[in-house]
């Protein structure tokens, strides 16, 4: 018998997140491990009289590609994927990793190059209705220092919520950011500020990520000054980078240090011109996520944290920074951190003052 929590999550994804309607072409990207959730989404889409298409990935194919692909193959634009992206109405991506470190020994330049090549496809999909979701696996449970059963409880507690109600709660923070001109974040080893004047904050209320729970805004590109030391290790392209400290001047990173994989960090900052600038300031508001588990989809939503993403800014809301990179890094503010908007405290020690 299928876990009823999977059925509930599928209903959220299909009927709330991407709102599948009659006649829609829904693409479901999944893997063999997440087949139960993919099947429930497929079933609901058919009941909604849509036209679902399922793409299944298999373990090892991504690693094999980067290991053996030539420079010519890496540079080849995937026209079939572009055609699918143009045809689809909405997309559900279900991530169920068997090995969260699969790309640890892959040349980061290959990953950066491939992201550049496939970026136009990502831009097409970003204009559609889409959502990304995580399915519980032993690999993720192990990263989170949990049993699979514990991780399943953790995941469904974060996802299976009344997202319409959560959306209403996020309105207060959005209103403050929309009216604000300058943000300052102060904590241990951190004093950083940037302008948000003229930008619109966006709610993350279950429409694009699952689990969800953040409000974010794009900093004005050349206004970031100061320094920040991130609390948690960050994983990008299968590489874990820990102890990251960044210093900004006139918007750009001028110094970058890390206790682990510093070379990878610096390589990613050279992805393109926009990689050294901030594309996003996000505030985590999902207080059902109360533990760092080395999965950005969860970790950036932790209530009482903020994240500043290097690289691409989402165009909705007025963001302009262009980059093939989008790398979220997290700072925990629950122990002595403060967020100011126009010199007024809006959050202290992870608790809002709105």
Tell how far CA 65 is from the center of its chain: 24
Compute φ and ψ for 44, nearest 5 degrees.
Answer: -65, -40
Q: What is the percent of the chain with per-residue pLDDT over 70, rounded to a whole number?
A: 100
Read off the CATH number of the domain in which 140 is found: 3.40.1830.10
If you search the block for the tokens 């829904």, which residue do you land on?
Answer: 26
* Last residue of one domain, picked from the residues 159, 190, 212: 159
Asked if 89 contacts 52 with a C-beta cutoff of 8 angstroms, the reply is no
pLDDT > 80? residue 251: yes
Please write the tens of the pLDDT for every residue from 325-349: 999 999 999 999 999 999 999 999 9
d(CA 142, CA 54): 28
* Last residue of one domain, picked from the residues 133, 159, 185: 159
Q: How many domains does the chain have?
A: 2
In a shared domain, residues 44 and 174: no
Q: Determine the pLDDT at residue 38.
A: 97
In a shared domain, residues 238 and 316: yes
Q: Determine the pLDDT at residue 208.
A: 92
Name residues whose C-beta falls within 8 Å of residue 352's C-beta, 6 or more positions apart in sequence: 172, 173, 346
In a shared domain, residues 137 and 236: no
Q: Determine the pLDDT at residue 100.
A: 81
In a shared domain, residues 189 and 53: no
In a shared domain, residues 192 and 248: yes
Can you give the C-alpha Rg of the chain in angstroms? Answer: 20
Q: Determine the pLDDT at residue 145.
A: 92
In a shared domain, residues 221 and 259: yes
In a shared domain, residues 230 and 114: no
> Out of 12-21, 62-71, 243-252, which region has the weakest mean confidence (pLDDT)?
62-71
Please write the tens of the pLDDT for every residue from 52-102: 999 998 888 989 999 999 999 999 999 999 999 999 999 999 999 888 888
pLDDT > 80? residue 238: no
Q: Determine the pLDDT at residue 30.
A: 94
In a shared domain, residues 213 and 94: no
Average pLDDT of the chain is 94
Domain hosting residue 270, numbered range: 163-352
Which whole number is the average pLDDT over 228-253? 93
CA-based torsion, 210, 214, 220, 221: positive or negative: negative
Please write the tens of the pLDDT for every residue from 25-58: 999 999 889 999 999 999 999 999 999 999 998 8
Which whole number is the average pLDDT over 156-170? 94
Please write the tens of the pLDDT for every residue from 253-309: 999 999 999 999 999 999 999 999 999 999 999 999 988 988 888 999 999 999 999
Asked if 319 contacts 200 with a C-beta cutoff of 8 angstroms, the reply is no
- In this structure, the number of other CB atoms found within 10 A of the CB of residue 16 comes to 17
For the sheet containing 129-134, what is the strand order? 51-57, 25-31, 90-95, 129-134, 209-210
In a shared domain, residues 269 and 315: yes
- In this structure, the number of other CB atoms found within 10 A of the CB of residue 329 comes to 24
d(CA 260, CA 244): 8
* Last residue of one domain, picked from the residues 107, 141, 159: 159
In a shared domain, residues 129 and 167: no
């Amino acid at each position: 018998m299928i876990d009823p929590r999977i059925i509930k999550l599928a209903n959220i994804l299909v009927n709330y997140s991407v709102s599948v309607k009659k006649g829609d072409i829904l693409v479901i990207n999944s893997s063999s491990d997440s087949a139960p959730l993919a099947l429930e989404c497929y079933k609901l889409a058919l009941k909604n009289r849509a036209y679902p298409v399922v793409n299944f990935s298999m373990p090892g194919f991504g690693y094999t590609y980067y290991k053996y692909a030539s420079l010519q193959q890496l540079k080849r634009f995937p026209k079939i994927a572009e055609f699918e992206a143009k045809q689809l109405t909405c997309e559900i991506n279900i991530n169920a990793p068997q090995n969260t470190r699969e790309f640890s020994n892959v040349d980061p330049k290959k990953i950066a190059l491939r992201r550049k090549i496939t970026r136009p496809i990502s831009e097409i999909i970003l204009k559609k209705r889409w959502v990304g979701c995580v399915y519980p696996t032993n690999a993720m449970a192990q990263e989170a220092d949990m049993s699979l059963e514990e991780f399943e409880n953790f995941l469904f507690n974060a996802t299976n919520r009344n997202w319409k109600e959560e959306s209403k709660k996020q309105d207060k923070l959005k209103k403050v950011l929309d009216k604000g001109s300058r943000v300052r974040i102060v904590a241990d080893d951190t004093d950083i500020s940037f302008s948000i004047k003229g930008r619109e904050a966006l709610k993350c209320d279950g429409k694009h990520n699952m689990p969800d729970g953040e409000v974010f805004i794009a900093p004005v590109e050349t206004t970031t000054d100061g320094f920040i030391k991130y609390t948690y290790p960050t994983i990008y392209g299968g590489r874990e980078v820990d102890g990251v400290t960044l210093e900004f001047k006139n918007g750009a990173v001028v110094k970058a240090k890390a206790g682990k994989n510093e070379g990878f960090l610096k390589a990613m900052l050279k992805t393109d011109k926009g990689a050294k600038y901030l594309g996003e300031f996000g505030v985590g508001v999902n207080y059902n996520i109360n533990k760092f588990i080395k999965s950005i989809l969860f970790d950036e939503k932790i209530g009482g944290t903020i994240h500043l993403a290097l690289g691409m800014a989402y165009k909705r809301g007025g963001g302009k920074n262009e980059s093939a990179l989008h790398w979220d890094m997290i700072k925990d503010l629950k122990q002595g951190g403060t967020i100011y908007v126009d010199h007024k405290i809006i959050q202290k020690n992870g608790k809002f003052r709105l």
